[in-house]
Structure 1
């Protein structure tokens, strides 16, 4: 897949969900009882602000929707020109994510308000989370509308487009990592195609348990431990420390100025990266680990072996941090160098590899997103 084909597919899969979501929103707000759902959505519960679990869920949602800590934004952004205005795009991404979340909230809760009115109950009783909302409650509500087939098709097309778009980005990140670090694969004529085929096969095999009759239990286990757990918060905290303290915030800020010119907000970003973000993420992660309970779903309590499996999936990503640090220390020692030289090394010290990557980008063999 060349650059133009990749961009054309992403344009469709990224814009289609927004168009379908707005279409569903326009129809949802016209339903009887929609105002009750919207009122429930926008009415704050101040007491919830004292619940650390709410803060943990909020942080997890921000990380999941914006994508920091996964490497996707960094990997795809690396294909841009050196002086590309990523500063502007970072604001656009955050603002568009906020707007999409708000639109989605109004669409969902206006529909749940209609469902509550139809069942003569409250919105709180029909509201649920997780796969139950997307595949049970919401489709059931849409089936009560005029032309239910149309609205159900539009809804599941939106879910399908979101799934494809997410997979494109995640796989492109993994392929980029392989191409950047495996010289033999990078130089092979069909190296990129082979890497994509191997990744697709492995991901398919890993996801097969989720399409079985008990697949929803695997999905919930993976969601609670790998995506919404403490590991992601800790990874983001470590990345903030690595960039703002190890690499040096002033050094990084000079890189930003060199790429896009002088920008405002240095003091606020410095405080956020060096103190607010790592302290907040670490605090919530510790509280999350201290209050872990046996996972449950729909009244079913997971066995011990499933809980251990969930913890192992969390550790599989976090252990890469000390594992790579030990690798760098051992490698530096073997070369007879001082360990402190690790922190003084440039982030991209392999000039030859960078030149090869630039050659691939200019030839169109690597997509530029």
Structure 2
């Protein structure tokens, strides 16, 4: 007999035809029995094929039902992750942003801060004006945006703060997250002092004329011959050195209490309240900057300052320091390695697409820096015309740093005593005080107040400018304090001490601790303590932490796994550009920054003032406090891991599964299901009706 494959339909037709023809054969019973015996094997084959086909059909239908059921469960589980995910330790619901725009605004507020107003223009000034913009924008693209994107992915996928996220990603380097929290907390202490000074200027801006206004030929102390004198002798009441604090400045003390209280009020109710606050605090500074720029455009000489800002000195591009400054500004401004990006993104919904937020925040931050440069340099051009000097001389005219000799008659000065009791032994309008204008906060608190005094309606612009600085400081302070708060709440301590589960209590503890550490900065030696803390908690510490962070995430955790995390959240893998930056460009740039920072390291100083040995030791203790957690974390992980030393090392670089990993795996059940439909169709074709006819 010839052998061929029959379909299910052919088999049914054969059976029906056989039944119809059964009575018309004209054969005897014996002949029919013989014929039935001959056809029996074929009939059994037909029935078997029909049974197989029926089973395959039921399997296919069951697989489809199972797949639909799995996707239904996946949808519910995804909703569960987004809305009701529980914390690992304290079991309380994880907060999420009420609206997507709140995350974007808070990130912009955290990134756009006082550094955009003074540090960026100052670095432009030092680096040849517009020449600085070229390395700055290049570093933004190949280093800033990729690493910012990386930290957003870490926070959104792990849904934890910096310390706990790193303990999951790479247990060997879990200390990186703790070091980041320590650094961020120390910076919040010094950052709050900038808000104190801005608030001091804001209060005194309601005077007409402004207190720091001086006549061109005046040299009397009562007129405070320059903005530089006012900042150092009225605001700071600066003593000769850090070893001579000379008591507390009680007006600054009161402002310190007020600023920390303001931070507490805005944070203790959680991100739902903070998300509403930033609608105003983030947008308001842009209106002030725009108003200042419009006003400056009508001032004589404004274009000369803008031209110095945008026209590059191409020779400066050969200076490695310019490129390192550009990369450092990107890190400082975007908050990379501070932990702020990770903690803010941990409040995102799991399926949020973070790339759009990353691009908006990154470009908004850089655009604000450049916009601020136009505001600052247009004012400098106007001031240069008034003084008959070149623009490049304005911010360095106080380079003759004659040390002032202060002879107070009381332990501390009040506002009413400053004028009568402060004696300055120095001559010339711009002698005295050491920091040099344009360095650090000097550009904001020394140079720009002088520019404002030359404007029409000077008190109005002064109030607006320093009000803007307060809001810029608040936005950044929210993020830095939140890092420390969530470190406590996400830790084991919250499970052991129920009080630490209440955010209001934890925020109060963090703010009170920051207040205590800020007390030395409201003494008459406060500027020296400020410089000491700021230098040792950011210069070397930041690059050191960034190096280990990039090493742990990009090389040990791995770009493939990081890309898979993005795919799980958004359904798409990150672009090739980001993967190349994570693999090679960003780690190499961070390594170069670390080497250059160590080779070109300069001890802390404030102008020409040299810190005593005990202060230098104190500064290095601050640095050690920030970075000691990295080696301690390595030692602890290797000591507590099981197995041989080699096995411990291998285990220590294996990432931990997030708490919601079981749910995550079910969200993509379609990929994990066997291709049942194809198997069923294959069974229908190959095992259908193969009979010998």
Q: TM-score, normalised by structure 1?
A: 0.88
Tell me if the contact between 2:566 and 2:574 (Cα under 8 Å) persists in the aligned partners: no
Counterpart in 1 of 2:528? Answer: 217
- Verify: 1:51 aligned to 2:311, yes or no: no
- Verify: 1:199 aligned to 2:199, yes or no: no
- Verify: 1:226 aligned to 2:537, yes or no: yes
Q: For 2:283, what is the secondary structure of its paired residue?
A: helix
- Verify: 1:150 aligned to 2:418, yes or no: no
Counterpart in 1 of 2:581? Answer: 272
Structure 1: which 4+ aligned runs deviate by more than 6 Å? 334-337
Tell me if the contact between 1:241 and 1:274 (Cα under 8 Å) persists in the aligned partners: no
Q: Deviation at 1:304?
A: 2.7
Tell me if the contact between 1:52 and 1:284 (Cα under 8 Å) persists in the aligned partners: no
Counterpart in 1 of 2:133? Answer: none
Counterpart in 2 of 1:300? Answer: 609
Counterpart in 2 of 1:364? Answer: none
- Verify: 1:27 aligned to 2:295, yes or no: yes
User: How many equivalent residue pairs?
Assistant: 351
Counterpart in 2 of 1:120? Answer: 388
Counterpart in 1 of 2:551? Answer: 241
Partner residue of 1:169 out of 479, 494, 516: 479
Counterpart in 1 of 2:167? Answer: none
- Verify: 1:179 aligned to 2:489, yes or no: yes
Deviating more after overlay: 283-292 vs 340-349: 340-349
Q: Deviation at 1:295?
A: 2.9
Deviating more after overlay: 111-120 vs 334-343: 334-343
Residues of 2 paired with 1:99 and 1:118: CA distance? 29
Q: Deviation at 1:28?
A: 1.6
Deviating more after overlay: 24-33 vs 332-341: 332-341
Compared CA separation, residues 92 and 172, structure 1 to 2 (3 A): same
Compared CA separation, residues 55 and 230, structure 1 to 2 (3 A): farther
Paired residues for 1:246-265 under 5 Å: 246-263=556-573, 265=575
Q: For 1:158, what is the secondary structure of its paired residue?
A: helix
- TM-superposition CA deviations, 1:297-323 (whole Å, max 9, x none): 232222233333333323322222222
Residues of 2 paired with 1:272 and 1:80: CA distance? 24
Q: Deviation at 1:158?
A: 0.9
Q: Deviation at 1:283?
A: 1.7
Q: For 1:348, what is the secondary structure of its paired residue?
A: coil
- TM-superposition CA deviations, 1:11-49 (whole Å, max 9, x none): 222222222122212212221111111011112122322
Q: Deviation at 1:104?
A: 0.4
Counterpart in 2 of 1:317? Answer: 626
Compared CA separation, residues 105 and 56, structure 1 to 2 (3 A): same
Q: Deviation at 1:54?
A: 2.4
- Verify: 1:108 aligned to 2:376, yes or no: yes
Residues of 2 paired with 1:12 and 1:124: CA distance? 36
- TM-superposition CA deviations, 1:249-292 (whole Å, max 9, x none): 101101101112214522x2222223222222222222222222
Counterpart in 2 of 1:341? Answer: 651
Counterpart in 2 of 1:62? Answer: 330
Counterpart in 2 of 1:138? Answer: 448
Compared CA separation, residues 283 and 242, structure 1 to 2 (3 A): same
Q: Deviation at 1:334?
A: 8.7
Q: Which runs of 5+ in 2 are unaligned?
A: 1-268, 396-437, 663-693
- Structure possessing the higher radius of gyration over alpha carbons: 2
Q: Deviation at 1:350?
A: 8.7
Q: Give the structure with the higher percent helix.
A: 1
Paired residues for 1:90-109 under 5 Å: 90-109=358-377
Residues of 1 paired with 2:536 and 2:549: CA distance? 20
Deviating more after overlay: 195-204 vs 315-324: 315-324
- TM-superposition CA deviations, 1:61-105 (whole Å, max 9, x none): 111110110111111101111001211101111110111011000
Residues of 2 paired with 1:334 and 1:350: CA distance? 28
Q: Deviation at 1:50?
A: 2.8
Compared CA separation, residues 273 and 308, structure 1 to 2 (3 A): farther
Q: Which runs of 5+ in 1 are unaligned?
A: 353-369
Tell me if the contact between 1:55 and 1:284 (Cα under 8 Å) persists in the aligned partners: no
Residues of 2 paired with 1:349 and 1:323: CA distance? 25
Deviating more after overlay: 241-250 vs 288-297: 288-297
Tell me if the contact between 1:180 and 1:186 (Cα under 8 Å) persists in the aligned partners: no
Counterpart in 1 of 2:203? Answer: none
Deviating more after overlay: 341-350 vs 218-227: 341-350
Q: For 1:344, what is the secondary structure of its paired residue?
A: coil
Tell me if the contact between 2:293 and 2:375 (Cα under 8 Å) persists in the aligned partners: yes
Counterpart in 2 of 1:159? Answer: 469
